[in-house]
Amino acid sequence: MERLVFPFNEGNRSMAELLGGKGANLSEMISLGIPVPDGFTITTAACRDFLERKSLSEQLESDIEFAVAKLENRTGRRFGDIKNPLLVSVRSGAKFSMPGMMETVLNVGISPDIARELAIKSKDPKFAWDSFRRFVEMYGRIVCAVPASVFEEVRHQYLAAAKLNSPLDLSAEQIEELSYKFIEKVEFLTSRSFPMDAKAQLLRAVEAVFSSWNSERATLYRRRERIPTTLGTAVNVQMMVFGNIGEDSGTGVCFTRNPSTGESGDYGDYLECAQGEDVVSGIRNTLTLHDLVNLQPKAYTELKSIMSKLESHYRDMCDIEFTIESGKLWILQTRVGKRTAEAAFCIASTLVDEGLISIDEALLRVTGEQLMNLMFPQFDLSASNERIATGIPASPGAAVGHVVFDSKSAVDEAMAGKRVILVRNETSPEDLPGMVAAQGILTSRGGKTSHAAVVARGMGRVAICGAEEIKVNVAAREFSANGHTIKANDLISIDGGTGAIYLGEMRVVESTVSQYLQNSISPQKFTPLIRAIERFLTRADIVRTLDVRANADTAADCDLARNFGAEGVGLVRTEHMFLGERRTLVETLILSDSAELRTEVLKEMEELQYQDFLGIYLAMEGLPVTVRLLDPPLHEFLTDKTELSLSIAKKEANNQPVSDHEKALLAAVNRLHEANPMMGLRGVRLGVLIPELFIMQVRAITRAAADLLRTGIRVKPEIMIPLVASQRELLYFRGVLEEEIKSLLVDLDTTLEIPIGSMLETPRAAITAAKLADYSDFFSFGTNDLTQLTWAFSRDDVEHSFLPRYLDLELLPFSPFESLDQDGVGLLLRIAYDEVKAVKPHLKLGVCGEHGGDPASIHFFHQLGLDYVSCSPYRVPIARLEAGRAAVLTRKLITLDEKATA
């Protein structure tokens, strides 16, 4: 029979999958001799069983009862006993940290009789009844599903009747009375008696925490963080310690390093006479950890020692929750702390310097996504926008948006295409959808460890908390700050790095990190962050096996890509060279019946392309440049059919003349119109039917390369044929191109090798790649089209129709256009790779779709054994970093396998 409950002293941190991160870390701390309130963990397996059967099994109920009895023996207290009560907290704890996404119920086991006895024993009636009130409110909200707004309304009415301004002003008797009013409301809304039996409270609380695994916010968070829904959460039942028992008590959250910047030193929040929820909820502005030195010097000294011990043990920045009960320090939980992108790089680098981790382990602790966040623009502080207030900088970055005051509005406005800033007094877990939708979060209350701050940092959202200068009036949908009134939909800018709040839209400039990556700042101006990024990119470049190229269509794009570290161009999309003013050339070519005019147009196009390629080759001197021949169907260069038809119909209806050009254009559009153009006349098929168009391109590619080669400039052109599906069409079309290149090189009296390869972007090409390899010098996977054709998805259509719903229902874990579908499309890549390597082991294979810059996809491409990835210029540094991480991770896994089999 599977074991479902473990006391804290029987686990360790390696058991996170079974005990959840929180439970495993509690067990680990006990083994280190750290003062942890006793308790037990109910496993993730029990959660999965509960979610399947919709109730607790008899075995689990029996195991919980047995674990409670053991806990009673160890603590000397009795669960539900009036004279010597054992009260517990019931907390979630999944394998991966999900701060604030699931539920917690405190003071389970309390009743009015126990509260009265606690009041006598503690000589603090207010503490006793406040503990009862907290339990009633949390149990009512979490277990009985009574909305938080109901309790807020009851509290507001009670305070108004008592002529009091704050719940802190309530006496013990008034808190007791308010608690009964809460109970009356819960019983009225649920038509059930409020339970005062300790065992019933515990079992229902466990059920509620298990159920919260599938709450809307938890599901949304998992989807965003790509946490598998099948894991489930553990539940930790832990003896209560009270931070609200008197002036020598309190609660706090601390980090062993600054989670915003990575700097060493004390960092955290503390609240006197409070319980943990008060700190993270942000309902009260906190004291700093430094204030604890004077308030509780003994506890502070012990806390600092524990912080040092935990960081050394975990070899990482730790996030620690603690409570001081009557001067005694207790550690409630620890975990590797959430951090900003800047802190991630700085902390990892510092830990290498301190000898705690190796450079390769540090490389695994930073990600391409974090580097991408650091490349986002920042505010131009020379702008004239008025600063209206300043708060606590909780999560860095620059965000501009229209003000909204609730989560639903944030989601709705964002869905409509608006940038929004979510403004609240404080956030709660229910606000998560709005926090995800918003560009930034601004709260008037809370500190650096409040819910808003922790979640924003984890998501990479800009956040300012505890901005006491602003007064938020949610009902009126406005906030005021130093004489200014900002209403819903007004535009503001917030700087999460400085805490500054500005009126209107601030100008943005390129970030310092982006400037560094483009070699545009001097080493003298390098900050610790820049030095850390340089360190990890350098290491990644040393260990990676994947080359990183860029998708670039102009000389300017190539310059940018090369500055970012690109090792060539993996995709020049030549169709982009005929947009804008040049579109008329393609239009003329299509419409003309004159062979002479068509020849003239092709010559003009060739000269333009020649100049384009000269610039690209010069920018990429000595590096490979892969030029894809024209890919899209010709109708894309013409006016939209519907738009043109309506324009002509309108003229005819108004008896206005329709020009011959318009008539010819409409005829051409109708002639070229296809029901499904993405699967029609395009790519190699277009080259077979209109070879002169592609011969023009090959001439420009070859002439530009030959002319530069004669001047001593090294060029490495490669020609890539798009949308190949069969061996015969490739053989035929390659022959056409080779004949033209050979003839031209003779005329130019130049020797130049130009490899001709093909894109693998159809399923047929992928599964017959071995046959295509006979006539291809290299392959590049076009994963965008391959994804569309494999899934039978039209990207432009599905992303605005059913794909969002599929993601909501978790029918798809992520968009296959954002990250490679490794099971389906990835299998086609693997088949093609294996087929090609079996017949041509040294043939080069790369990828040039958007997936070439996606971190998860890059790891797959590394494991597959591809030679290079190609991505947009701004993603080149991300790809370099992730390719290095993939190499280190693979080596680490191989080492672990070898140890396991030794």
Chain centre to alpha carbon of residue 188: 42
Two structure tokens written together for 281: 């909820």
Enumerate the H helices of 544-582 as residue ranges.
555-563
CA distance 633 to 672: 8
DSSP β-ladder status, 88-94 and 233-239: antiparallel
Asked whether the beta carbons of 418 and 402 are under 8 A apart, the reply is yes
Separation between Cα atoms, residue 790 and residue 849, nearest integer Å: 14
Beta bridge partners of 104: 91
Give the Cβ contact number of residue 753 at 10 Å: 10
Q: Reduced to 3 states, what is the DSSP secondary structure of residue 630? A: coil
The phi, psi pair for 256, rounded to 5°, reads -75, -15
Q: Which helix (H) or strand (E) holds 90?
A: strand 88-94
Vertex 646, ends 641 and 649: CA angle to 5°?
A: 125
Gyration radius from the chain CA atoms: 32
Q: Is 473 helix (H, G, I), strand (E, B) or coil?
A: strand
User: What is the H or E stretch that residue 551 is in?
Assistant: strand 547-551
Three-state DSSP class for 192? Answer: coil
* CA distances (Å), origin 154, targets 107, 130, 159, 352: 21, 16, 9, 54
Q: Is 871 a catalytic residue?
A: no
Of the residues 273, 848, 851, 871, only one is catalytic, namely 848
| Cβ proximity of 236 and 88 under 8 Å | no
Q: From CA 114, how far away is CA 164, in angstroms rounded? A: 27
Find out whether 360 and 888 touch, Cβ atoms under 8 Å: yes
Helices (H), 714-870: 727-748, 763-767, 769-772, 783-791, 795-798, 803-808, 825-839, 855-864
Which residue from 873, 858, 881 is spatially nearest to 566, judged by alpha carbons? 873
Distance CA 301, CA 685 (A): 76
169-190: b or e for each residue (b if 16 or more CB lie within 10 Å)? ebebebbbbbbeebbebbeeee
Q: What would the DSSP string read from start to end of 441-467?
A: EEESS--TTSHHHHHHHHHT-EEEE--
Which residue of the set 273, 346, 402, 451 is catalytic?
A: 451
Angle at the Cα of 493 from the Cα atoms of 281 and 423, rounded to 5 degrees? 30
Residues with Cβ within 8 Å of 801's Cβ and at least 6 positions away in sequence, in order, are: none
Half-sphere exposure of 78 (CA within 13 A, CB side): 7
Q: Please, what is the angle between helix 595-619 and helix 555-563, to 10°?
A: 20
Overall size of the chain counted in residues: 902
Instruction: Provide the token pair at 660.
Output: 């011959």
For residue 544, give Cα distances in angstroms to 5, 516, 846.
Answer: 44, 21, 15
In the sheet where 470-473 sits, what is the strand order?
Answer: 470-473, 478-481, 484-487
Q: What are phi and psi of 849, to 5 degrees?
A: -80, 175
Beta partners for residue 379, in sequence order:
508
Tokens read off for 636: 């894309």
- Rounded Cα–Cα distance for residues 870 and 875 (Å): 9
Q: Report which secondary-structure segment, H or E, holds 121.
A: helix 112-122
Q: Is 635 designated active site?
A: no
| Rounded Cα gap, residues 184 and 178, in angstroms | 10
- Which residues are marked as active site? 451, 848
